[in-house]
Every structure is written in structure tokens, then in C-alpha cells.
Structure 1
Amino acid sequence: MSVHFQSDKEAADALHASYKRLREEIGKVIVGQDETVKLVLTSIFCQGHSLLEGVPGLAKTLLIQTVSSVLDMEFNRIQFTPDLMPSDILGAETMDKDRHFHFVKGPIFSNIVLADEINRTPPKTQSALLEAMQEYSVTIANKHFELPKPFFVLATQNPIEQEGTYPLPEAQLDRFIFNITLDYPSYQDEVNIVKNTTTDVRVKPDKVLGKEEIIYFQNLVRKVPIADNVVEYAVKLVGKTRPNSEHASDFSNKYLDWGAGPRASQFLVLAAKCNALLNGKYSPDIEDVQETATAILRHRIVRNFKAEAEGISIEEVVKRLM
């Protein structure tokens, strides 16, 4: 099915309407977590990947399964463990009975991949996944294989148990557009969750968008016009995170060891464009940059010992810089 709209304005209206339907369908299964759902959908429409941090039992797997269902995309879940090998993710060449080698695709050959507890596997296996995220392809035995499109990775980390884990280095964290923190539900949301999940009734959300529509909207996001002052605000905001740089403030010089790189500026502009479309606007403003800034900068800023000793969180840092 080919996707066609008379104009970009009509396409933008269609994306806004589709987003409202997506929220409704996902809301049939996922109670609350509105901000998380919006960031995950924004990440997909920006052709990015997200890192989700939250304690066990907050429906991280159910969320991504539901998103893949309403977007009519293939879904695979990979449980990361210390003995997981790169071939368990990418696939491997095997020999058949006629002694011919052929490639058996791994679970990464899917539209949506849930990398569960990514910090539980050694760096060699982590890098195999992260290379595929960056290149949208894998190379096995000198043979090149393209990954299906659209392609989206949601990696999860448990912030509590850190024994036997291999934390992602900053260079690899930078591959993720968002670092999304999932908090406990409110009292009323938890009451609704318990009511919905302790009966024999299973709600199945309807499909809203197909693969070709998603790819069309991903291209549309990049075509959104943006004013120079909004781009300059995004770049200056990232510059403020770099201590002892041109735009650094006294606050960042005092409390930060390291700031975000140029990829953060790119993601701020891209996410602002998408955020504007999802909110029914045709061009982003500074508020759209601010709305996504914390999730983009959270994993790209390194606080110093003084900030940690005084209990200054990354969220507070970003808020002060904005």
C-alpha cells in the first residue's frame, strides 16, 4: 500500500490524528505512563532508539509489545544474560546436510527489538547490537544484510541491581536518542492496573499504522521547517552542558565534569520537530525543545563529585540550564 497525501500540511494533520488514536489504543492496555508512551512514539517517528530505566514490574515489556501491536510491526524480545553471544542476536551461518552454508537470521531481524536488561551482557555482545542500531545492517562472514525498516530498539536497564552488570559506556549511550525513566504509577493508576489485570478479560488494541505509513511519517518529521532561533536555542542549551566552554554557565563549571556532544543538538531539533507535529503544530518552538530536553540530555551529562555529594540530580541540572 502506497501512502500519499496532497500536501505536507495534510500529512501533518494525519500524523496528529494518528497519534491521538495511538494513545487511545495503547491506553486500553497501558494505564498511565503518558509521558513514557509519548517519548517512545517520538523516538520511533524520529528513527531513533530509546533506553528505558525502571524497577521490575512496571510493564516495560508489555508497553513495547503493545506499541508494536498498534503499529503493526514485528516484535522480538531478547533477554540479555552474561553468556549471550553476538551470534545469538545477529544470527550465524550454519551448514545444512548438503554441506552448504546458509545464514540463519537472529532476533534482531525485526521491526521492534526489546533488548531486556542490556547491561547484563558483556561489552562484546552489547557492541554487536549497538552497531546494528547505528548502521541498520549487520555483516556476517563478509556478507552484508540490511535490517528491516522501520527498525527500533528499546533497551531496558534495572537501576537497582548492579551486581554482575556491564554498564554501557558514554559513547554507546550516545546512540540512544532518549533515556526514559519509568517511575511507580500513581495510587489511582495502580488501582486501575490491578482491576484490569486480575480478571479473565483481555483487551486487544486495534492496529493504527502500518510500516509504510510509519516510514512516510519518519521522512515527514525531517521535512518540518524550523526557525533559526529555535535551532540556536537547542545548540546553546547543549553548549551550556560543556564546562569551561563558550556558553558554559557558572553552574555547569561548578557541577559538571563532561557535557553533551553535537548528536544531542541534532536530536533536540529532530525531537522538537516531531513533538510539534504530535501536538498539532506545523513548526516547533522553544517549548518543544524544552519538552524533550531532559530525556535527551539525561545520559549525555556527567556530574562531578561535588554535584553528587550535594544531591543535585541530572534532571535538576537540565532544568537549571534551561
Structure 2
Amino acid sequence: MQGKVNTDASVDDHDGSAVLPSNASPAPGRQVPPTPPPPAVAGPAASAPYLDAEELSWARERIGALSAALSAKVVGQARLQETLLVALLTGGHVLLESVPGLAKTTAAATLAQAVGGRFHRIQCTPDLLPSDIVGTQVYNQQSGTFETQLGPVHANFVLLDEINRSSAKTQSAMLEAMQERQTSIGNRSYALPDPFLVLATQNPIEHEGTYPLPEAQMDRFMLKDVLDYPSPAEEAEILRRIDAGILGTAADPVLSTTDVGRLQQLAARVYIDPSIVNYLVGIGYVTRHPGDYIPPRLAAYVDFGASPRASIAFASAARARALIDGRNHVVPDDVKALAHRVLRHRVTLTFEALADDVPVETVVDAMVGGIRTP
């Protein structure tokens, strides 16, 4: 029988620590995740009001136009489109895993065109240097001085194609830019543009000559999505659009980067109830103590659980998904819909799981199912 995370913990008035209510007691030998005290305001700031009808209508109209622009160029792949929109509204980055030819580049380029942003594609190879990405200093013989030339990472949307083909040194330079939102060239730092979104791809069918991303570095990606082949009807629609010339033309801008900034501000003000905060924190706790909440057979496959970055990603992404869905509040289904994308690259499985062909999604589903939905 699976254990349940109790989300009805009360708060001690003296020290503010969370304690179990009097009518709840953990089963012998089982741990109960500590429930954080509910915040006074479950938003980014106590002074920030929640979204009103006018703001929600404005956001719905802009997001609808952006979704239509993506759907015009990308056939199917509804989850990919949602993932890109969530990343855009939160300022997070995305790691995509799929075989070639599933519209990853098309989707990223279309998103950049639709908001009037700059798009750069970087093809990762083993001989790619950090300076090829962030930029370098070049000596000018006429002036006798060094001039800085910024690299392709200085764009609003950057596609790192097959990031696992680049060396560890190059990967670390890119991940630093993702985290710090700036690059260092010589003795100066150069801020990256806003918005800034990195879409990195991995090819799962080739392993020779690759440098897999370390688990600790993959944690810096907010979401990881795994794409599948289109259906026969969707593939036929792709051919029809190619014949019609639709896929060969650039998308017209439907938003501005200023609109994107406002959408990000609105997404940060979407209401998230304390019970849902406790729910997503509880999911993170279960990933670190799986033996108490999921079947022992699956718990044995877990090597490491998710870091607090998972809870941060859950909260931000759930707010964005609610806004995409036209709501000014988060519901538990937002958290469940994002569970695979938030946790599949943060929950590390053992070699036995690989040998037994146990996907990480199966373990994540058991973890989410092991606690009570608010």
C-alpha cells in the first residue's frame, strides 16, 4: 500500500515550523514529507495583484495569435508547442530529445519570427570551441587594438542542435550563459538580450563521438520533452503544406518582444494556492525518498531524486500553463501535465533500470500517484 503525503499540516505559531495535525500520524517506518507553512500571498510579491479580466483577455488574445502562428508552420506536435510557449512565458530553457526531422528547428525559428526576435542556430560538433558560441576578441591591425565580436548566443532564440556532440568545455560555456544571462569576453561581461530562450536538442539514436550532458548540468534546463513521430494524417498534411509553399515562407510577427515581457509578468502573477505549492513540493520530496511512497521494485531503480530546482520549475511552468489555458489560477492538472517534462531529466535511474528497460516516465508516474492530489 502506498504512503500518502499529508498536505493539511498546521503551522506552529511560536517558531513558524510545519507540524503534523493532531489527527495525522505517519505509519511505522514511513516518513511524511514536511509541509511548508502557507505563504501570506502565493504570488511573486505581496503587493502584486492577481490577474483581472482585462489582463486575462489581453493575454489570451496574444497567446492565441502566437499559437496560431506556430500551428501554421508546425503540423501536430501539440505538446512541443505548449512546451515552447511555457518556456517563453517563464524565461526557461528546453532540452528536446528526438530523432531528426520532427520540426524542432522549424518550431524554434517560427517562434522567433512570430515575436520579431533574433534566431541563431548552432550546429554542435566535437571541435566547436566556447569562443565559437559566446564570442572572442579579434586584433585590428589598422587601429592596433582588440575588438570584441559577439558570438551567435547573443540572440533571443538559440537552437543548439545536438548539444551532446560538443565537448564538455563548450557545453559548460553555454550552460553558464543560460544561467547567468551574460557572457564574459576578456575582462568585460555582455548581457544577453531579453527574452532569451535556449532550445537544445539531443539525438538518441547515435552515441559514437558524443559527450552526454552530466545529470547536474541537465538540471539547468527547465523542461525536457521527448518527441514522437507524427501520425499518417499529420505526415500527409506536412506534404500538402510543402506543395503549397506554406513551410517555405517566413512567419509574420504577431507579437513584439515588449509583449513577451508583459506576458512573462502576467504569468508570474497567476495565482497558485498554498495547497498546490505543498503538492508540488511533496512530489519533489517523494523523488528523494521513493522507498517510502512507491513500490519497492520501482524505488530500487532510483539513484538520485530531483533538486529544489524541480519545485521552482513546477511552480513557474504551472503558472504559465494556466495562462496559456486562459486561467488566472493553477490547478493540480497543470502540475500533473508537466510532471514528465519537469522530472524526466532530474530523476536519475540506476543501470539496472536501463537493463530492465524501465523508462523514467514509469517511475515518475508512480511518484506522482504516491501522494494525494489536493
Q: Is residue 348 of structure 2 the alignment partner of residue 273 of structure 1?
A: no
Question: Displacement, 1:133?
Answer: 0.3
Structure 2 CA distance for aligned equivalents of residues 70 and 154 of structure 1: 16
**Residues 1:7 and 1:209: Cα distance change in structure 2 (over 3 Å):** farther
Letter in 2 for 1:315: E
Structure 2 CA distance for aligned equivalents of residues 284 and 199 of structure 1: 40
Aligned residue among 156, 161, 164 for 2:206: 161
Aligned residue among 262, 269, 277 for 1:216: 262
What residue is the counterpart of 1:17 in the other structure?
Answer: 61
Letter in 1 for 2:341: A
What residue is the counterpart of 2:339 in the other structure?
Answer: 293
Question: Displacement, 1:69?
Answer: 0.8
TM-score, normalization: structure 1? Answer: 0.93
Letter in 1 for 2:322: A
Bigger CA drift: 142-151 or 6-15? 6-15
What is the correspondence of 1:113-262 to structure 2 with a 5 Å cutoff?
113-200=158-245, 202-243=248-289, 248-251=293-296, 253-262=299-308
Q: Is residue 98 of structure 2 the alignment partner of residue 54 of structure 1?
A: yes
Q: Is residue 71 of structure 2 the alignment partner of residue 27 of structure 1?
A: yes
What residue is the counterpart of 1:109 in the other structure?
Answer: 154
Letter in 1 for 2:120: N
What residue is the counterpart of 1:3 in the other structure?
Answer: none
Bigger CA drift: 309-318 or 125-134? 309-318
Question: Displacement, 1:310?
Answer: 3.2
Letter in 1 for 2:237: N
Structure 1 CA distance for aligned equivalents of residues 130 and 351 of structure 2: 36
* Alpha-carbon contact 1:55-1:159 (below 8 Å) kept: yes
What residue is the counterpart of 2:367 in the other structure?
Answer: 321
* Alpha-carbon contact 1:243-1:257 (below 8 Å) kept: no
Structure 1 CA distance for aligned equivalents of residues 70 and 334 of structure 2: 23
Structure 2 CA distance for aligned equivalents of residues 236 and 200 of structure 1: 49
Bigger CA drift: 217-226 or 155-164? 217-226
Structure 2 CA distance for aligned equivalents of residues 117 and 239 of structure 1: 32
What residue is the counterpart of 1:73 in the other structure?
Answer: 117
**Residues 1:98 and 1:115: Cα distance change in structure 2 (over 3 Å):** same
Question: Displacement, 1:240?
Answer: 1.1
Question: Displacement, 1:154?
Answer: 0.3
Deviation digits for residues 251-277 of structure 1 (CA, Å, limit 9, x no counterpart): 453221111100001100111111111
Structure 1 CA distance for aligned equivalents of residues 223 and 150 of structure 2: 28
Deviation digits for residues 78-137 of structure 1 (CA, Å, limit 9, x no counterpart): 111111111100111112111111211110111000111111010001111100000000
Deviation digits for residues 168-207 of structure 1 (CA, Å, limit 9, x no counterpart): 0011100100111111001100011112124445454332
Judging by fraction of residues, say which structure has more helix: 1
Letter in 2 for 1:214: V
Structure 2 CA distance for aligned equivalents of residues 304 and 214 of structure 1: 40
Structure 1 CA distance for aligned equivalents of residues 349 and 111 of structure 2: 34
What residue is the counterpart of 2:28 in the other structure?
Answer: none
What residue is the counterpart of 2:86 in the other structure?
Answer: 42
Q: CA RMSD in A?
A: 1.7
Question: Displacement, 1:321?
Answer: 1.6
What residue is the counterpart of 1:8 in the other structure?
Answer: 51
For structure 2, the residue ranges without an aligned partner over 5 or more in a row are 1-48, 369-374
**Residues 1:117 and 1:12: Cα distance change in structure 2 (over 3 Å):** same
* Alpha-carbon contact 1:241-1:248 (below 8 Å) kept: no
Bigger CA drift: 193-202 or 24-33? 193-202
Deviation digits for residues 221-264 of structure 1 (CA, Å, limit 9, x no counterpart): 2222211110010011111111467x653445322111110000
Deviation digits for residues 289-314 of structure 1 (CA, Å, limit 9, x no counterpart): 11111101010111123433332211
Structure 2 CA distance for aligned equivalents of residues 49 and 90 of structure 1: 17
What is the correspondence of 1:61-100 to structure 2 with a 5 Å cutoff?
61-96=105-140, 97-100=142-145
Letter in 2 for 1:69: Q
Bigger CA drift: 214-223 or 105-114? 214-223
* Alpha-carbon contact 2:123-2:160 (below 8 Å) kept: yes
Letter in 1 for 2:191: E
* Alpha-carbon contact 1:94-1:102 (below 8 Å) kept: yes
For structure 1, the residue ranges without an aligned partner over 5 or more in a row are 1-5
Deviation digits for residues 45-79 of structure 1 (CA, Å, limit 9, x no counterpart): 11100001110111211111111111111100111
Structure 1 CA distance for aligned equivalents of residues 359 and 139 of structure 2: 53
Question: How many residues align structurally?
Answer: 316
**Residues 1:101 and 1:295: Cα distance change in structure 2 (over 3 Å):** same
Letter in 1 for 2:358: I
Question: Displacement, 1:165?
Answer: 0.2
* Alpha-carbon contact 2:95-2:199 (below 8 Å) kept: yes
SS in 1 for 2:254: coil
Larger Rg: 2
